[in-house]
Amino acid sequence: MNPITPFTVLIADDEEAPREQLAEALAQAWPEARIVARCRHGADAWDQWLEHEPDVCFLDIRMPGLSGIEVAQRIAGRSEVVFVTAFGDHALAAFDAGAVDYVLKPLEPQRLAQAVERVRLRLSAVPATPQPPQSSAIDPASLQRLLAKLAQDLQRPARPEVIQASVGKEIRLIRLADVVYFEADTRYTRVVYRHEGADADALIRTPLKDLLAQLDEAQFTQIHRSVIVRSECIASAVRDDAGNMHLRLRGREERLPVSRQFQGLFKAQ
């Protein structure tokens, strides 16, 4: 009887601690797999892939030299790829189609186990005789276009998670997750946010149009030339008899104006 050949795995992460954490987690989630390479950056990952041609690659997305996405482009479907990232970029939802998978840092054992199970199912579906890959839910050309778009997105500066704002003589670091809306002032931009469970506001010097370019459009919506609001804070849009529209916010009294230019954003499904 021929011995069973274990599946081979490559891990690439430019930080040692996450790399070793993933290796330990994989030993628990997939004990029969054999890690053949632990790589410190993208170029190393590509060199090691050429040497080992592993069945599965766990690739950190943001690495120096070659990103994980660029390594995946070079692999071009010849190994299963699972992306590992600290960024919950909404674009990664595209991978739920099943062509590849992703897990977020810090690793959650249950989510990693799901990714491993998905990979195992895909590997078990591969026929014994070499044939063109047919098991992907996304065809190779579409996958390459998707990877190219994500690689392009990766070249853009990372979106900030906090902004620095003046409150009297204090410079306060405000998490974007706490912001309710931004409102243009004469010389500044007013930031309305939640601070330690209470309402607060502060001023920043960044003009609203420059700020808009830094924000995630999936989280913030411009509703007026002088107002950008956090989408999840919107409770409803109300139009009066004169055709003017304003927004009601969740748990707040103020009403925000919606200019005619942006009223088309709010319509019943």
**Domain assignment of residue 154, yes or no:** no
The domain of 70 spans 8-125
Assigned token pair, 94: 């595209």
**pLDDT above 60 (res 99):** no
**1 pLDDT tier (thresholds 50, 70, 90):** very low
- Whether 179 and 105 share a structural domain: no
- Could you say which of 68, 102, 125 is where a domain stops? 125
Q: Does some domain include residue 73? A: yes
| Global model pTM greater than 0.85 | no
Asked if residue 118 and residue 201 are part of one domain, the reply reads no
What pLDDT is recorded for position 97?
Answer: 42
- Give residue-wise pLDDT tens across range 249-260: 999 999 999 999
Instruction: Domain count for the chain, please give it.
Output: 2
% pLDDT > 90, the chain: 41
What is the per-residue pLDDT across 50-81, written as a single tens digit (0 to 9) for each?
Answer: 999 999 999 998 888 888 888 988 888 899 99
pLDDT above 50 for 230: yes
Where residue 132 falls among pLDDT bands split at 50, 70, 90? very low
- Per-residue tokens: 211: 């700020």
pLDDT tens-digit map of 161-185: 888 887 777 888 899 999 999 999 8
pLDDT surpassing 80 at residue 245 = yes
Token pair belonging to 27: 């030993």
Q: Could you tell me the CATH number of the domain that includes residue 232?
A: 2.40.50.1020
Q: Of residues 82 and 126, which shows the higher confidence score? A: 82
Q: What is the mean pLDDT of residues 100-108?
A: 78
Domain boundary among 77, 107, 125: 125
Neighbour-count burial for 42-70, b at 16+ CB within 10 Å, e otherwise: bbbbbebbeebebbbbbbbbbbeebbbbb
In a domain, 196, yes or no: yes
18 and 104 assigned to the same domain:
yes
Q: Is the Cβ–Cβ distance between 188 and 199 less than 8 Å?
A: no
Q: Domain check: are 241 and 182 in the same one?
A: yes
Query: End of a domain among 125, 147, 177?
Result: 125
